[in-house]
Amino acid sequence: MEKLIVHGNAKLSGTVNISGSKNAALPILAATLLTREKCVIRRVPDVSDTNYMLQILQNLGAEVERASGTVTVKAETLNGAEAPYDLVRKMRASICVMGPLLARMKESIVSLPGGCVIGDRPVDLHLRGLEGLGATSKVEGGNMILSSPKGLRGQEIDLRGKHGTTVLGTDNVMMAAVLAKGTTIIEGAACEPEVVDLAQFLNKMGAKIQGAGTSHIEITGVKELGGVEHTVIPDRIEAGTFLIAGALAAGKSGITLRRVEPDHLTAVIEVLKSCGYPVERQGKTLTIGRASRPIGANITAEPYPHFPTDMQAQMCALFATTPGLSVVKDTIFPQRFMHCSEMKRMGADISVDDGTAVIRGVDRLSAAPVMASDLRASAALLLAALTAKGNTEIHRVYHIDRGYENIDDKLIGLGAEIERVQA
Ligand code: EPU
């Protein structure tokens, strides 16, 4: 197992290229199962989650090639409809093969993913949606078994849940409905840019989807889909993470992020500006500098277009040393605050209660050995360590490798001192 040693006192400058979006790439890779023809997908980030997804596709019988960010998948024949526990347990997002398998094979057997450290991760909305299209479901031996021997039928489906919309649930229903008979209407659909990217991919394959990016999506089923070439959207969460690195540690000239989609980052940019950080946009480029007198903020993570839950841990790292009081609430995953306990070990003044972190900024954090608990928590610890006093050791960095492409190398390119060593 590897650990990162992060030297504090970082002064960052220069330019960083943002990778393609992990959370857009994963369902798009799953959607390649919907056609026998070849799909070419560009800007697929080389992270362990996309590697797991490719293993699942290969396991199902698809031919997969990967060369510097471009993935080619040809799922001409599939040898089954089962995504086994060994692979699913490594990555929750494997659940998004359920919709495509059901549409193409009239059956899907996907191991129940179980809970995870960011909280309970139920699948009721996925099942509600797919059952709405006519599938039957049962749980047997830890697997969700869905079947629709006579094919799926379009229907009106409400996907709103207790915590709002569901991103992968919307993806699953969309991917199943594209080959269903008749028209499907999804109410309460997730509006995240990753859902829009998937809809665009499916439409290029020949699907008829309208309204992606709003809470009302209409899908007219078609008989078959064809091969396609597609470039994945930039990763807005990776970009947001680097914006916070800049807010924390940029030198006089700031840092510049290239190959981003600033429109996807509006909520994050607004918060950073309200805290006093200069953020400038020029086309697909963003530059952020230090604030002369940074102030805290009160933010709430909610479904898009609001502040993303996948950025709240990184925001906690920024607020840990921002003068005054900040409040971070997560309505989507109220238990997603493990990073706060670790940051407290670095001297942060944070109390967490009922899905809300109250943070009193301290002058400076100090290095400590800390443990990454999930993907975004590990990014938050890495950010916190950049300006801490001393050298911070971050253990269990495999979490960060699940979703950030070469994050240590990218930070080193901006001037940080980080070593990756065997723990
Ligand atoms: N929910 C249900 N029932 C369901 C599904 C979800 O109640 O059947 C609840 C969840 O418990 C949560 C809320 O609905 O409270 C939203 O969960 P959602 O289904 O939208 O999450 P997801 O689709 O499984 C994706 C991202 C997550 C991101 C969430 C929320 C991917 C691969 N994952 O997960 O990303 O946090 O949407 O935006 O797209 C990450 O990248 O670190 C990550 C965890």
- pLDDT digits over 200-238, tens only? 999 999 999 999 999 999 999 999 999 999 999 999 999
Which pLDDT value is given to residue 162? 86
Range of lowest pLDDT (88-97, 261-270, 371-380):
88-97
Q: Which two tokens mark 275?
A: 């805290």
pLDDT band at 87 (very low <50, low <70, confident <90, very high): confident
216-220, strands of its sheet edge to edge: 156-158, 183-187, 216-220, 208-210
Residue 316 known to be catalytic: no
More confident of the two residues 1 and 368 = 368
Are 267 and 220 members of one domain? no
The last residue of a domain, from among 211, 231, 251:
231
Instruction: Round to whole Å and give the CA distance between 192 and 220.
Output: 21
Mean pLDDT of the chain: 96
Which pLDDT value is given to residue 89? 85
Are 256 and 204 members of one domain? no
**Of the candidates 185, 149, 169, 200, the residue with the CA atom closest to the CA atom of residue 21:** 200
Model pLDDT for residues 263-284, shown as the tens digit of each residue = 999 999 999 999 999 999 999 9
Q: Is the pLDDT score of 353 beyond 70?
A: yes
Structural domain including 53 reads 22-231
CA angle 71–167–69, rounded 5-degree value: 15
More confident of the two residues 52 and 88 = 52
Instruction: Round to whole Å and give the CA distance between 185 and 348.
Output: 47
Handedness of CA 100, 101, 102, 103 (dihedral sign): positive
Pocket of ligand 1 (CB under 6 A): 23, 26, 93, 120-126, 161-163, 166-169, 190, 194, 309-310, 332-333, 375-376, 403
Instruction: Round to whole Å and give the CA distance between 282 and 280.
Output: 7
Q: Is the pLDDT score of 75 beyond 60?
A: yes
Chain centroid to CA 295: how far? 28
Please tell me the total count of domains within the chain. 2
Instruction: Round to whole Å and give the CA distance between 33 and 225.
Output: 10
Which pLDDT value is given to residue 307? 98
Instruction: Round to whole Å and give the CA distance between 53 and 73.
Output: 11
Are 252 and 269 members of one domain? yes
Give the nearest ligand 1 atom to 26 CA.
Answer: 32
**Of the candidates 193, 149, 419, the residue with the CA atom closest to the CA atom of residue 308:** 193
The last residue of a domain, from among 231, 252, 286:
231
Are 178 and 285 members of one domain? no
**Of the candidates 87, 61, 81, the residue with the CA atom closest to the CA atom of residue 148:** 81
- pTM across the whole model: 0.98
Give the nearest ligand 1 atom to 123 CA.
Answer: 8
Alpha helices in 275-328 (DSSP H): 312-319
Are 155 and 194 members of one domain? yes
Give residue for tokens 């094979």: 105
- Pairing state of beta strands 38-42 and 70-74? antiparallel
Q: Ligand 1 centre from 14 Cα, in Å?
A: 34
